[in-house]
Amino acid sequence: MTGSKHGWTDRQVDQIIGNLLRIGVTASALVVLTGGVAFLIFHPGATENLRVFSGEPAELRNVPAIIKGSLALHSVQIIQVGLLLLIITPVARVIFSVAVFALQRDRTYVVVTLIVLSLLLYSILGGRV
């Protein structure tokens, strides 16, 4: 598949997707780093028992609580926001692909991509499996 009469060529789409992924990963790494440095400055000696699984508390598990905590500048939640950014980077790519296939009037792939997107959103927005 080299091109299409409608919208962008596949090659241009590749380039845009590449940039999209790079921006997402860079932004997320910077946020995680900021939160991590802040945590280590304020709690360098903190010990946590990671050998035993206890599950993260609610404020580190659901999206609104993570964002709320990071706005209050809690270092641990800032890290979590960075991780959330990373998790949604591939989702942004899929959303972008829906638009591209729609512009190319490729109905089959619009449907295919929407299925992938809904599975992703189901997972991230907290669907129970």
Nearer Cβ to another protein (62/71): 62
Residues in contact with another protein, shown as a per-residue x/- string from 87 to 126 under the rule CB under 8 A: xxxxx-xx--x--------x-xx--xx-xx--xx-xxxxx
* Spatial separation of the C-alpha atoms in residues 1 and 123, rounded to whole Å: 31
Smallest distance from the beta carbon of 35 to another protein, in angstroms?
7
**DSSP assignment of 69-83:** HHHTT-HHHHHHHHH
> What is the DSSP secondary structure assignment for residue 7, as one 8-state letter?
S
Distance linking the first and last C-alpha atoms of the chain:
36
Q: What tokens does 9 get? A: 């060529």
Site for another protein in 8-27 (CB under 8 A): 10-11, 13-15, 17-19, 21-22, 24-25
Query: Which residues have a Cβ under 8 Å from the Cβ of 90 and sit 6 or more positions away?
Result: 21, 120
The structure tokens listed for 3 are: 């091109």
* Tokens 């989702």 sit on residue: 91
Indicate whether 129 belongs to the interface with another protein (CB under 8 A): yes
Q: Which of 7, 8, 39, 95 binds another protein (CB under 8 A)?
A: 39
Q: Which residues bind another protein (CB under 8 A)?
A: 1-2, 10-11, 13-15, 17-19, 21-22, 24-25, 28-29, 32-33, 35-36, 39-40, 43-48, 50-53, 55-57, 60-62, 76-77, 79-80, 83-84, 86-91, 93-94, 97, 106, 108-109, 112-113, 115-116, 119-120, 122-126, 129
